[in-house]
Amino acid sequence: MERDDDQVSIEKLDALRKGISDIDKEIIELLEKRAELVKEVGTIKRSQKMPFYSPDRETKIYKMIEENASGTFPIKSLKTIFREIMSASIKLEEPLVISYLGPEATFTHEAAIKRFGLSLHYIPEESIEDVFMDVEAERADFGVVPIENSIEGVVNYTLDMFVNSSVKIVSEIIIDIKHNLLSKSNSLDKIKAIHSHPNALGQCKSWIKKHLPNVMLFETTSTAKAAKIAEKDPSVAAIASSAAADIYSLNILAKGIEDKTNNITRFLVIGSEIPQKSGNDKTSFMFTIKDKVGALYQILEPFYRNSINLTRIESRPSKQKNWSYIFYVDIDGHINDKKVQESLKEIEKFTVLLKILGSYPKGVRT
């Protein structure tokens, strides 16, 4: 008697599910073994007073994923899974505290989670200065602050904080900014007002003009603050992240409403120590120049001669005397690279102040 095709399919499905369950158990066993090794690593780090978060090590793990993945399981998803494995592992070694420019559900919060995962303790702060102070006073192990947006430009306040701060840049995070229209309501027709940070309102003005031309616009201190307001009034919408929709129980009325799709923000992770070389690093430093003809050329020329690429240079008033400027520079390479060391030593004689802000792995757009 021939068996029914449906019965054969059900039996095959059961067998496949059993195979998946067996693999899941193996994964759990391997994670448990990994955790035991992690604890031993934590013990050694603690005895040697070594940092518990190593951006260079993290970069090597992501590179290992790219080199070993066959492509059957999406590489981006593998990295997300390993992000949480590493986050839980750091917590096993030492429960780190991460300070960030809040409140919860801002894009800075999103960037912090992308870098450190969900297992660590986060402190939202009201200002960039507070984040720096948390790290300096050792209330937090690391801080996350915005530094640059592809549309709005550099965050000057973050640059200014480095003048008198002892913190170092230990990592950078680059994320695509996706704006969403959130509300308690489930229809655009019911929206009478939109709240958001002025940058977000400006980046979505064409979409607003086309779809909600008659609504009133209100500026808030953050996109998360706008979501809090929308949570209490169904006639109000907020422009904010998708994470804010989950946290404040809001409906997403429209996704990706930014006028320019290439909207990228770069964030810095600040800490107390410069990480080891990862093999794909950048170094940030600041300087003031002596008041003489050709001083800036004399500073830039050694980098050209040593084939070191300058990826960014910004200037800010020093606020100490009129027409005096501080220059902020990013270059390819690590502070421990011989050519970088030689170039920095050579330019020191042309500067009044030369301060290394950090050497860290280059961020990858996510």
Whether 319 and 344 share a structural domain: yes
pLDDT score, position 2 = 53
**Considering the domain boundaries, does residue 4 fall inside one?**
no
Q: Per-residue pLDDT tens for 68-105?
A: 988 889 888 898 898 889 888 888 877 889 999 988 88
**pLDDT score of 142 more than 80:** yes
Whether 204 and 215 share a structural domain: yes
Whether 134 and 150 share a structural domain: yes
CATH number of the domain residue 236 falls in: 3.40.190.10
Q: Per-residue pLDDT tens for 236-274?
A: 999 998 888 988 999 999 998 998 878 888 999 999 889
Q: Which of 54, 71, 91 is the last residue in one of the domains?
A: 91
Whether 281 and 247 share a structural domain: no
**Considering the domain boundaries, does residue 334 fall inside one?**
yes
- By CB atoms closer than 10 A (0-12, 13-18, 19+), residue 85 is middle
pLDDT score, position 322 = 57
**Considering the domain boundaries, does residue 44 fall inside one?**
yes
Whether 143 and 217 share a structural domain: no
Residues labelled catalytic: 265, 267
**Considering the domain boundaries, does residue 71 fall inside one?**
yes
Which residue in the block uniquely carries the two structure tokens 């996350």? 144
**Considering the domain boundaries, does residue 5 fall inside one?**
no
Q: Which of 254, 289, 319 is the last residue in one of the domains?
A: 254
Whether 102 and 56 share a structural domain: no
Q: Which of 235, 269, 303 is the last residue in one of the domains?
A: 269
Whether 280 and 313 share a structural domain: yes
Q: How far apart are CA 31 and CA 143, in angstroms?
A: 28
What is the domain count for the chain? 4
Whether 165 and 219 share a structural domain: no
CATH number of the domain residue 303 falls in: 3.30.70.260
**Considering the domain boundaries, does residue 259 fall inside one?**
no
Is residue 361 within 8 Å of 171, Cβ to Cβ?
yes
**Considering the domain boundaries, does residue 3 fall inside one?**
no
Q: Enter the tokens of residue 186.
A: 């489930």
**pLDDT score of 296 more than 70:** yes
Which residue in the block uniquely carries the two structure tokens 């940092």? 51
225: domain range?
180-254
Q: Enter the tokens of residue 101.
A: 């420019």
pLDDT score, position 194 = 95
pLDDT score, position 1 = 46
Q: What is the pTM of this model?
A: 0.81
Q: Per-residue pLDDT tens for 25-81?
A: 999 999 999 989 988 888 888 887 777 788 888 888 888 988 898 888 988 889 889
- List the beta bridge partners of residue 268: 145, 172
Whether 241 and 299 share a structural domain: no
